[in-house]
């Protein structure tokens, strides 16, 4: 891969503490992750995204950091982390880490100093108000779990701002010293060898919060400054960010007003994600076609990151109330499957009823759409969720490696695990685990390996264009193509249950020894005027290769 390696990457996201425990204390650790790198290499992923690894009270699963320059002792040491980077690179795998700098823990030394005195050098590192702000009860990220975004601190004798939980005070990005510190943090980890950062809550690190103004201004120039800093310190490092904002505002996260792609490299495509889930619920591709049409054009070098599931809930906030209810009825019919009045806290396998055909279809579709695919750990074996766990923890259960006790995740007693392993039922570790699927050439894991390696032989998908093939097609069928310097791929996906036939005869004149590279069954020779497609079927066809 070249300098824009991220355009052809396959990203695998994981929580270190629930992935693999090497020392038997019940908590996954960096040494355990190192021991599983060969598994990830065989799977075909090229980049591992680690959720927060910093020291933290872990009141919000590590997103409440107390030291941005360290590794949480329960996960290992900085020495272990550098060894991880070395071993990953040896296998052709890059590592990116979460950059959660929109806030800190209220136990961070900066905040403890800031609240202690108005004269503290860190006082202005946070956002304060001497009087109760009128927008105190607006802008909550976690409705139902939050009641305010401004809290009174008795020691400081002032109100402090927290977009998230009250134990996560927001940093003040209007303060140049805060910006410089964030750049130091970035430089530190780049120097160690990370390949970039996933920026949590990007809209909030550019927000210049004004008490009483629920629509405080945003300074996009900080993204330009941060991008420049990253490029100088690590030439091919990437900034992958989360910004679930209105479509009209998206391009500003990538580019300045002049059209230069000088801000973020890539954004998670929340617009496409919501429409993809809606399409699966309806068994109708039209929402995906709408998303492909309505998504703003990106400047050269900018990239989307696609996903079906990530570490949070499936966020349906970009859908209408009626569309959201459709998805709920199909995939989250029970109240405890939903969260924040906007999302679903389930894994995809149980959402689709454990239907192997629909699982393959869903991921074949995601991985063939434009952008960089992101895969959640455990989804490659069809892990389920534990709805007895609070909130987002339902899908943050330990990785299921084998039928051994605790799913092979840890040798600790079950009651000492960081979180219970899913046991019993259709998705328990006794049935769903890596070892069992490794022995089965027809397993979901084997299919994922084949699909990912096929994708890596088709760079047009990540770095080329993605176009809906607008021809009459049976209900439920999406036909699209990816064009790039290396050639053209054609994709057919049937979201419905009926066997169908699709006429793409107009493409025949472009074909140069077309070959089917991935399909749900053997469809025989490629005949563009009569392409058969089974219910929940898919076909990836190389139309032509130019290099």
Cβ atoms of residues 392 and 164 within 8 Å: no
The catalytically annotated residue of 135, 242, 315, 483 is 242
User: What is the Cα–Cα distance from 313 to 294, expressed in whole angstroms?
Assistant: 24
Cβ atoms of residues 327 and 335 within 8 Å: no
User: What is the Cα–Cα distance from 381 to 379, expressed in whole angstroms?
Assistant: 5
User: What is the Cα–Cα distance from 172 to 89, expressed in whole angstroms?
Assistant: 36
Strand stretches in 165-292, DSSP E: 196-199, 238-241, 266-268
Which structure tokens are listed for 326?
């459709």
Residues with Cβ within 8 Å of 421's Cβ and at least 6 positions away in sequence, in order, are 397, 398, 400, 406, 407, 409, 414, 429
- The CA-atom distances, in angstroms, between 464 and each of 44, 369, 455, 486, 493 are 20, 10, 13, 9, 19
Which structure tokens are listed for 221?
């120039």
Q: Which of 90, 201, 198 is nearest to 141 (CA)?
A: 201
Is 326 an active-site residue? no
Residues with Cβ within 8 Å of 89's Cβ and at least 6 positions away in sequence, in order, are 193
Which structure tokens are listed for 128?
């304060």
Which structure tokens are listed for 246?
């209105």
Is 246 an active-site residue? no
519: left (phi over 0), alpha (psi -120 to 50) or beta: beta
Q: Measured on CA atoms in the order 144, 147, 151, 152, is the torsion positive or negative?
A: negative
Angle at 393 between CA 327 and CA 432, to 5 degrees: 80
Cβ atoms of residues 21 and 480 within 8 Å: no
User: What is the Cα–Cα distance from 138 to 313, expressed in whole angstroms?
Assistant: 21
Cβ atoms of residues 347 and 379 within 8 Å: yes
The catalytically annotated residue of 17, 170, 200, 380 is 200
Please give the positions annotated as active site: 200, 242
């Amino acid at each position: 891969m070249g300098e824009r390696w991220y355009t052809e990457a396959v990203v695998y996201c994981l929580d270190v503490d629930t992935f693999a425990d090497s020392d038997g204390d019940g908590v996954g650790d960096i040494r355990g992750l190192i021991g599983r790198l060969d598994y990830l290499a065989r799977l075909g992923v090229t980049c591992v995204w680690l959720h927060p690894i910093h020291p933290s009270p872990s009141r919000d699963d590590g997103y409440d950091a107390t030291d941005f320059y360290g590794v949480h002792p329960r996960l290992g040491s900085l020495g272990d982390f550098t060894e991880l980077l070395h071993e990953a690179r040896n296998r052709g795998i890059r590592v990116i880490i979460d950059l959660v700098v929109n806030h800190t823990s209220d136990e961070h030394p900066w905040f403890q100093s800031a609240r202690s005195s108005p004269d503290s050098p860190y006082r202005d590192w946070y956002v304060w108000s001497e009087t109760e702000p009128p927008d105190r009860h607006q802008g909550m990220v976690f409705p139902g779990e939050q009641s305010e975004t401004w809290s009174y601190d008795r020691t400081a004798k002032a109100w402090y701002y927290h977009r998230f939980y009250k134990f996560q005070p927001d940093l003040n990005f209007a303060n140049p010293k805060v910006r410089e510190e964030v750049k130091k943090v970035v430089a530190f980890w780049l120097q160690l060898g990370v390949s970039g950062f996933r920026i949590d809550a990007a809209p909030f690190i550019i927000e210049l919060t004004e008490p009483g103004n629920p629509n405080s201004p945003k300074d996009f120039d900080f993204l330009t400054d941060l991008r420049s800093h990253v490029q100088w310190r690590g030439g091919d490092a990437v900034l992958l960010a989360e910004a679930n904002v209105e479509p009209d505002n998206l391009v500003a996260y990538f580019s300045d007003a002049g059209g230069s792609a000088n801000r973020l490299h890539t954004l998670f495509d929340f617009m496409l994600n919501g429409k993809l889930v809606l399409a699966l619920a309806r068994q109708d591709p039209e929402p995906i076609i709408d998303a492909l049409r309505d998504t703003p054009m990106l400047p050269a070098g900018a990239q989307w990151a696609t996903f079906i599931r990530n570490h949070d809930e499936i966020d349906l906030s970009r859908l209408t109330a009626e569309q959201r209810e459709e998805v709920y009825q199909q995939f989250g019919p029970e109240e405890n499957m939903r969260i924040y009045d906007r999302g679903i806290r389930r894994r995809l396998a149980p959402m689709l009823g454990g239907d192997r055909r629909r699982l393959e279809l869903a991921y074949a579709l995601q991985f063939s759409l434009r952008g960089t695919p992101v895969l959640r750990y455990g989804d490659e074996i069809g892990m389920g969720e534990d709805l007895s766990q609070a909130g987002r923890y339902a899908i943050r259960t330990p990785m299921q490696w084998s039928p051994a006790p605790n799913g092979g995740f840890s040798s600790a007693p079950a009651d000492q695990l960081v979180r219970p392993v899913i046991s019993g039922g259709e998705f328990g570790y006794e049935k769903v685990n890596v070892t069992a699927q490794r022995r089965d050439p027809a397993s979901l894991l084997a299919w994922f390996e084949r699909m990912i390696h096929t994708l890596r032989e088709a760079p047009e998908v990540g770095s080329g264009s993605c176009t809906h093939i607008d021809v009459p097609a049976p209900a439920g069928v999406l036909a699209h193509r990816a064009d790039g310097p290396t050639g053209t791929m054609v994709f057919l996906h049937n979201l419905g249950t009926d066997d169908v036939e699709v006429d793409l005869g107009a493409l025949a004149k472009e074909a140069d020894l077309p070959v089917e590279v991935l399909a749900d069954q053997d469809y025989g020779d490629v005949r563009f005027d009569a392409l058969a497609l089974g219910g929940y079927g898919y076909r990836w066809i190389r139309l032509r290769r130019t290099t």
